[in-house]
Amino acid sequence: MADRYLVLHTWGIGDMILLTPVLELIHEMYPNIKFDFAIFQATAMLPIKNAPYTGEIIRGSYKMNKLVPLISCLKAKNYDFCITSSGISAIKAGLFAWLIRAKRRIGDAPAGTLRIYTDQITFDPSMHRTWANHALFKLVFDLPDAGSIATNPRYREVFRTRYHSIASAGVEAESFLKKHYATGDFVVAIHPGCNAKNKYRRWDLEYFVELVRLLKCRHAAWKFYVIAGPDELEEGTQLAKCIDAPCLSGVSLDTVSEALKRSKMLINTDSGIGHIASCHQLPSFVIFGPGDERQTAPFGNHAVVIRSEVPCAPCVQNRRTKCDTECLKKLLPHVVADVIRDHNPEQQ
């Protein structure tokens, strides 16, 4: 009987996308293997729900009346492996894997943490999540090392982020873009928001308005649109009005992904949208503040991280969510415009 694999993922969509290069590589090398996923944030399932390596997706919950039946259900499936994606609390995830009686429990943990996993790596806060996940899954599968991936064209093509959207989303995205732009236009997407609980990571709306004004002065032919999800609908609608641009809202993330696939550039704050753009190798300029780009920047060479140099940033590990975010306030629009100019996205 084939081994059964469960991936435990409690993070959001961005971190799931950072896991996809590893999953894509495993699928290339072991095409018959499928993973079940226990996912605690609903949007995290979207990039992989239609992937060829995805088996069952089980929705998780921290509420006891749902968590206990979930553990009972997963225990009955007799998983041979429970692999926890990088960065999750070692004690919580390891205990979860133990309670469902997974034979091997794989995860990362800070040095000195109780060894509740059967196999683990030491969590390194300076390591990007994609490479940390690669190290975790390498404990289970015979995967090429990082050097081989970088030098082998076959592996390099496979080992990148993916978003497996439904076909109809492309039609909807195409319709939106054709309504507002001509073929050949240099279309720039702007996403001013992020998850509602991470509002402290957002750049000031007035800064976005000024940035677009500067870019229009320098690049008269550029066309803009705003992406606004449910968590930033008010801000997105306001920004779209201020810069006289259409707003892509009220659509699925599959449609957003397909719209980005057809765009020329993205400007956004630290959010899952930047990770979706990386799936299409879209030139992106990502504004970071409290977040730690060493771990969670979009994976690949097409994203440019922009931040101001302040001594307290990044502070995401210190939970400084109530500070004045000087890291974002000191990052002025003309600085971001200069970075975009210096990287010349029209030539990419």
**Phi/psi at 32 (nearest 5 deg)?**
-90, -10
Q: Give the number of other Cβ atoms within 10 Å of residue 264's Cβ.
A: 17
Find out whether 99 and 93 touch, Cβ atoms under 8 Å: no
* Cα separation, 125 vs 179, whole angstroms: 45
| DSSP secondary structure code for residue 140 in this structure | T
| Residue 344: burial class (beta carbons within 10 Å; 0-12, 13-18, 19+) | exposed
d(CA 222, CA 211): 13
Pairing of strands 265-269, 187-191: parallel
Full pLDDT tens readout for the chain, 348 residues: 689 999 999 999 999 999 999 999 999 999 999 999 999 999 999 999 999 999 999 999 888 899 999 999 999 999 999 999 999 999 999 999 999 999 999 999 988 767 789 999 999 999 999 999 999 999 999 999 999 999 999 999 999 999 999 989 999 999 999 999 999 999 999 999 887 778 888 899 999 999 999 999 999 999 999 999 998 999 999 999 999 999 999 999 999 999 999 999 999 999 999 999 999 999 999 999 888 899 999 999 999 999 987 767 677 655 555 666 778 888 999 999 999 999 977 766
* Helices marked H in 138-252: 146-151, 153-158, 167-180, 205-218, 233-242
Rounded Cα distance, 60 and 70, in Å: 7
SS3 call for 81: strand
- For residue 19, give the H/E element and its range: helix 13-29
Which domains, from first to last, does the chain contain?
5-158 (3.40.50.2000), 169-347 (3.40.50.2000)
State if pTM tops 0.75.
yes
Q: Which helix (H) or strand (E) holds 137?
A: helix 129-137
Q: Are 105 and 119 in contact (CB under 8 A)?
A: yes
Q: Which residue has the tokens 């921290």?
A: 62
